Amino acid sequence: MPIIQFQNVSKFYEKKGAVLDFNLKVEKGERVVILGHSGCGKTTVLRLLAGFVPPDRGKILIDNEVVSIDGKILKEPEERNIGMVFQDLALWPHMTVRQNLEFGLKARGIKKEEREKRIKQILKLTQIEEFENKKPSKLSGGQQQRVALARALVLHPKILLMDEPLSSLDFELNIRLRREILKLQKEIGFTLLYVTHNREEAFDIASRIIIMRNGKILKEGSPEEAKIYFEQILKTVKI
Protein backbone atom coordinates (compact mmCIF):
# COMPACT_ATOMS: atom_id res chain seq x y z
CA MET A 1 0.00 0.00 0.00
CA PRO A 2 1.49 3.37 -1.00
CA ILE A 3 2.04 5.88 1.79
CA ILE A 4 1.48 8.87 -0.55
CA GLN A 5 -0.87 9.13 -3.53
CA PHE A 6 -1.67 12.05 -5.81
CA GLN A 7 -4.64 11.26 -8.06
CA ASN A 8 -5.25 13.66 -10.98
CA VAL A 9 -4.23 16.64 -8.86
CA SER A 10 -4.30 20.16 -10.35
CA LYS A 11 -3.53 23.45 -8.64
CA PHE A 12 -4.07 26.83 -10.30
CA TYR A 13 -2.87 30.28 -9.36
CA GLU A 14 -4.88 32.98 -11.12
CA LYS A 15 -5.96 30.51 -13.82
CA LYS A 16 -2.37 29.44 -14.49
CA GLY A 17 -1.71 25.79 -13.66
CA ALA A 18 1.15 25.34 -11.20
CA VAL A 19 0.50 21.57 -11.03
CA LEU A 20 -1.50 19.84 -13.76
CA ASP A 21 -3.16 16.44 -13.64
CA PHE A 22 -0.41 15.15 -11.40
CA ASN A 23 -0.32 11.45 -10.52
CA LEU A 24 2.18 9.93 -8.12
CA LYS A 25 2.40 6.92 -5.82
CA VAL A 26 5.15 6.67 -3.23
CA GLU A 27 5.83 3.51 -1.24
CA LYS A 28 6.93 3.56 2.38
CA GLY A 29 10.68 4.08 2.75
CA GLU A 30 11.24 5.38 -0.79
CA ARG A 31 13.46 8.38 -1.48
CA VAL A 32 11.69 10.24 -4.25
CA VAL A 33 13.42 13.28 -5.70
CA ILE A 34 11.41 15.77 -7.73
CA LEU A 35 13.78 17.39 -10.19
CA GLY A 36 13.00 20.35 -12.43
CA HIS A 37 13.69 23.96 -13.35
CA SER A 38 12.52 26.87 -11.26
CA GLY A 39 8.78 27.45 -11.60
CA CYS A 40 7.85 23.93 -12.78
CA GLY A 41 5.69 23.25 -9.71
CA LYS A 42 7.97 21.35 -7.31
CA THR A 43 7.28 23.43 -4.22
CA THR A 44 3.56 23.40 -4.98
CA VAL A 45 3.59 19.58 -4.90
CA LEU A 46 5.12 19.67 -1.41
CA ARG A 47 2.72 22.37 -0.19
CA LEU A 48 -0.22 20.31 -1.45
CA LEU A 49 1.04 17.23 0.38
CA ALA A 50 1.73 19.15 3.59
CA GLY A 51 -1.82 20.54 3.48
CA PHE A 52 -0.90 24.22 3.24
CA VAL A 53 -2.98 24.58 0.06
CA PRO A 54 -5.87 22.49 -1.25
CA PRO A 55 -5.84 21.03 -4.78
CA ASP A 56 -8.38 22.67 -7.10
CA ARG A 57 -9.02 19.25 -8.58
CA GLY A 58 -8.11 15.72 -7.65
CA LYS A 59 -7.32 13.75 -4.55
CA ILE A 60 -4.37 13.37 -2.19
CA LEU A 61 -4.10 10.32 0.07
CA ILE A 62 -1.73 9.57 2.93
CA ASP A 63 -1.75 6.00 4.23
CA ASN A 64 -4.78 5.33 2.04
CA GLU A 65 -6.78 8.09 3.75
CA VAL A 66 -8.05 11.02 1.66
CA VAL A 67 -6.46 14.16 3.19
CA SER A 68 -7.35 16.71 0.46
CA ILE A 69 -9.92 16.62 -2.32
CA ASP A 70 -11.42 18.99 -4.93
CA GLY A 71 -10.68 22.32 -3.25
CA LYS A 72 -10.94 21.02 0.32
CA ILE A 73 -8.43 20.15 3.02
CA LEU A 74 -9.85 17.26 5.04
CA LYS A 75 -6.84 16.79 7.30
CA GLU A 76 -4.93 19.81 8.64
CA PRO A 77 -1.13 20.03 8.27
CA GLU A 78 -0.42 19.37 11.97
CA GLU A 79 -2.44 16.15 11.80
CA ARG A 80 -0.52 14.76 8.84
CA ASN A 81 2.66 13.69 10.65
CA ILE A 82 4.88 15.25 8.00
CA GLY A 83 8.25 16.85 8.71
CA MET A 84 9.59 19.71 6.63
CA VAL A 85 12.96 21.29 5.89
CA PHE A 86 13.11 24.24 3.52
CA GLN A 87 15.96 26.19 1.98
CA ASP A 88 15.49 29.12 4.34
CA LEU A 89 15.60 27.00 7.45
CA ALA A 90 13.30 29.21 9.51
CA LEU A 91 14.97 28.28 12.78
CA TRP A 92 13.67 30.38 15.67
CA PRO A 93 16.51 32.87 16.27
CA HIS A 94 15.66 33.73 19.88
CA MET A 95 15.69 30.07 20.96
CA THR A 96 18.63 27.79 21.61
CA VAL A 97 19.08 24.62 19.57
CA ARG A 98 17.48 22.59 22.36
CA GLN A 99 14.53 25.00 22.59
CA ASN A 100 14.10 24.83 18.81
CA LEU A 101 13.81 21.05 19.11
CA GLU A 102 11.62 21.06 22.18
CA PHE A 103 9.04 23.56 20.95
CA GLY A 104 7.19 21.21 18.59
CA LEU A 105 7.28 18.37 21.11
CA LYS A 106 5.68 20.58 23.79
CA ALA A 107 3.08 21.82 21.30
CA ARG A 108 2.12 18.21 20.72
CA GLY A 109 1.75 17.58 24.43
CA ILE A 110 4.62 15.10 24.64
CA LYS A 111 5.69 14.46 28.23
CA LYS A 112 8.99 15.68 29.66
CA GLU A 113 10.63 12.27 29.93
CA GLU A 114 9.83 11.34 26.32
CA ARG A 115 10.92 14.81 25.14
CA GLU A 116 14.31 14.37 26.81
CA LYS A 117 14.77 10.94 25.29
CA ARG A 118 13.96 12.10 21.78
CA ILE A 119 16.04 15.27 21.96
CA LYS A 120 19.07 13.37 23.23
CA GLN A 121 18.72 10.76 20.48
CA ILE A 122 18.31 13.24 17.63
CA LEU A 123 21.12 15.56 18.83
CA LYS A 124 23.38 12.54 18.65
CA LEU A 125 22.14 11.29 15.29
CA THR A 126 22.56 14.70 13.66
CA GLN A 127 25.88 15.33 15.46
CA ILE A 128 24.94 18.63 17.07
CA GLU A 129 25.17 17.63 20.74
CA GLU A 130 27.81 20.25 21.45
CA PHE A 131 25.59 23.10 20.19
CA GLU A 132 22.60 22.23 22.34
CA ASN A 133 22.64 25.52 24.27
CA LYS A 134 23.71 27.81 21.44
CA LYS A 135 21.49 30.13 19.42
CA PRO A 136 21.29 29.36 15.66
CA SER A 137 23.11 32.60 14.73
CA LYS A 138 26.25 31.27 16.46
CA LEU A 139 26.36 28.24 14.16
CA SER A 140 27.73 27.72 10.64
CA GLY A 141 25.46 27.08 7.63
CA GLY A 142 25.99 23.33 7.79
CA GLN A 143 25.37 23.21 11.53
CA GLN A 144 22.16 25.20 11.13
CA GLN A 145 21.12 22.76 8.42
CA ARG A 146 21.58 19.88 10.85
CA VAL A 147 19.48 21.71 13.46
CA ALA A 148 16.67 22.14 10.91
CA LEU A 149 16.86 18.43 10.12
CA ALA A 150 16.88 17.52 13.81
CA ARG A 151 13.91 19.78 14.50
CA ALA A 152 11.89 18.02 11.81
CA LEU A 153 12.99 14.50 12.78
CA VAL A 154 12.49 14.86 16.53
CA LEU A 155 8.74 14.80 15.87
CA HIS A 156 9.13 11.30 14.37
CA PRO A 157 7.43 12.14 11.07
CA LYS A 158 6.57 9.24 8.79
CA ILE A 159 7.17 11.50 5.78
CA LEU A 160 9.96 14.08 5.44
CA LEU A 161 9.67 16.84 2.84
CA MET A 162 12.82 18.70 1.86
CA ASP A 163 12.65 21.69 -0.48
CA GLU A 164 16.05 22.62 -1.95
CA PRO A 165 17.54 22.14 1.53
CA LEU A 166 21.19 22.26 0.46
CA SER A 167 21.05 24.94 -2.26
CA SER A 168 22.63 27.66 -0.16
CA LEU A 169 25.60 25.54 0.95
CA ASP A 170 28.98 25.36 -0.72
CA PHE A 171 29.81 22.31 -2.84
CA GLU A 172 31.73 20.27 -0.26
CA LEU A 173 29.20 20.82 2.49
CA ASN A 174 26.40 20.05 0.08
CA ILE A 175 27.95 16.65 -0.68
CA ARG A 176 28.67 15.90 2.96
CA LEU A 177 25.10 16.67 4.01
CA ARG A 178 23.73 14.49 1.20
CA ARG A 179 25.59 11.61 2.85
CA GLU A 180 24.18 12.50 6.25
CA ILE A 181 20.61 12.73 4.97
CA LEU A 182 20.99 9.28 3.38
CA LYS A 183 22.42 7.84 6.59
CA LEU A 184 19.61 9.28 8.71
CA GLN A 185 17.00 8.01 6.28
CA LYS A 186 18.51 4.54 6.50
CA GLU A 187 18.64 4.59 10.28
CA ILE A 188 15.21 6.12 10.92
CA GLY A 189 13.37 4.82 7.87
CA PHE A 190 11.15 7.80 7.02
CA THR A 191 9.76 8.24 3.50
CA LEU A 192 11.56 11.09 1.77
CA LEU A 193 10.19 13.51 -0.81
CA TYR A 194 13.06 15.77 -1.82
CA VAL A 195 12.92 18.71 -4.22
CA THR A 196 15.89 20.06 -6.13
CA HIS A 197 16.92 21.61 -9.44
CA ASN A 198 20.40 20.04 -9.07
CA ARG A 199 20.81 16.82 -11.08
CA GLU A 200 23.85 15.55 -9.19
CA GLU A 201 22.01 15.97 -5.92
CA ALA A 202 19.04 14.06 -7.34
CA PHE A 203 21.22 11.18 -8.63
CA ASP A 204 22.89 10.95 -5.23
CA ILE A 205 19.85 10.99 -2.99
CA ALA A 206 17.04 9.36 -4.94
CA SER A 207 15.82 5.82 -5.10
CA ARG A 208 13.44 7.23 -7.75
CA ILE A 209 13.53 10.47 -9.73
CA ILE A 210 10.51 12.40 -10.99
CA ILE A 211 11.42 14.95 -13.65
CA MET A 212 8.86 17.76 -13.74
CA ARG A 213 8.18 20.38 -16.38
CA ASN A 214 5.36 22.93 -16.55
CA GLY A 215 3.38 21.33 -13.73
CA LYS A 216 3.57 17.83 -15.18
CA ILE A 217 5.68 14.73 -14.84
CA LEU A 218 7.91 14.56 -17.88
CA LYS A 219 9.68 11.35 -16.97
CA GLU A 220 10.17 9.10 -13.98
CA GLY A 221 12.48 6.24 -13.15
CA SER A 222 15.55 5.09 -11.26
CA PRO A 223 18.55 7.45 -11.04
CA GLU A 224 20.23 5.31 -13.73
CA GLU A 225 17.25 5.74 -16.05
CA ALA A 226 17.20 9.49 -15.39
CA LYS A 227 20.92 9.69 -16.26
CA ILE A 228 20.35 7.88 -19.56
CA TYR A 229 17.43 10.19 -20.30
CA PHE A 230 19.56 13.30 -19.82
CA GLU A 231 22.40 11.84 -21.89
CA GLN A 232 19.98 11.18 -24.75
CA ILE A 233 18.63 14.73 -24.59
CA LEU A 234 22.21 16.02 -24.87
CA LYS A 235 22.79 13.88 -27.97
CA THR A 236 19.72 15.28 -29.73
CA VAL A 237 20.88 18.86 -29.27
CA LYS A 238 22.98 19.85 -32.27
CA ILE A 239 25.49 22.60 -31.69
Ligand X SMILES: Nc1ncnc2c1ncn2[C@@H]1O[C@H](COP(=O)(O)OP(=O)(O)O)[C@@H](O)[C@H]1O
| Interaction site with ligand X (CB under 6 A) | 13, 18, 36, 38-44
| Beta carbon nearer to ligand X, 136 or 215 | 215
The arrangement of strands across the sheet holding 57-62 comes to 16-26, 4-13, 57-62, 65-69, 72-73
- DSSP secondary structure letter of residue 150: H
Query: Are the CB atoms for 1 and 29 separated by under 8 Å?
Result: no
Q: How far is the CB of 55 from Mg ion (least distance, A)?
A: 17
Q: Which one of ligand X, Mg ion, none is in contact with 39 (Cβ closer than 5 to 8 A by kind)? A: ligand X
Q: How far is the CB of 33 from ligand X (least distance, A)?
A: 13
- DSSP secondary structure letter of residue 109: T
| Beta carbon nearer to ligand X, 126 or 196 | 196
Q: Which one of Mg ion, ligand X, none is in contact with 232 (Cβ closer than 5 to 8 A by kind)? A: none
| Beta carbon nearer to Mg ion, 100 or 145 | 145
Inter-axis angle of helices 171-188 and 112-125, to 10 degrees?
Answer: 130
- Phi, psi (rounded to 5 degrees) for 196: -155, 160
Q: How far is the CB of 16 from Mg ion (least distance, A)?
A: 15
How many residues line the site for Mg ion (CB under 5 A)? 1
Q: Which one of Mg ion, ligand X, none is in contact with 223 (Cβ closer than 5 to 8 A by kind)? A: none
C-alpha torsion sign, points 179, 206, 194, 104: negative
Q: How far is the CB of 38 from ligand X (least distance, A)?
A: 4
Q: How far is the CB of 47 from ligand X (least distance, A)?
A: 7
Q: How far is the CB of 45 from ligand X (least distance, A)?
A: 7
In 30-173, the DSSP E strands lie at: 31-35, 57-62, 65-69, 72-73, 82-86, 159-163
| Beta carbon nearer to Mg ion, 43 or 126 | 43
Region class of 145: left (phi > 0), else alpha (psi between -120 and 50), else beta: alpha
d(CA 43, CA 17): 13
| Beta carbon nearer to ligand X, 44 or 143 | 44
Query: Are the CB atoms for 152 and 85 separated by under 8 Å?
Result: yes
| Beta carbon nearer to ligand X, 43 or 126 | 43
Q: Which of residues 17-46 bind Mg ion (CB under 5 A)?
A: 43
Task: Return residues touching Mg ion (CB under 5 A).
Answer: 43
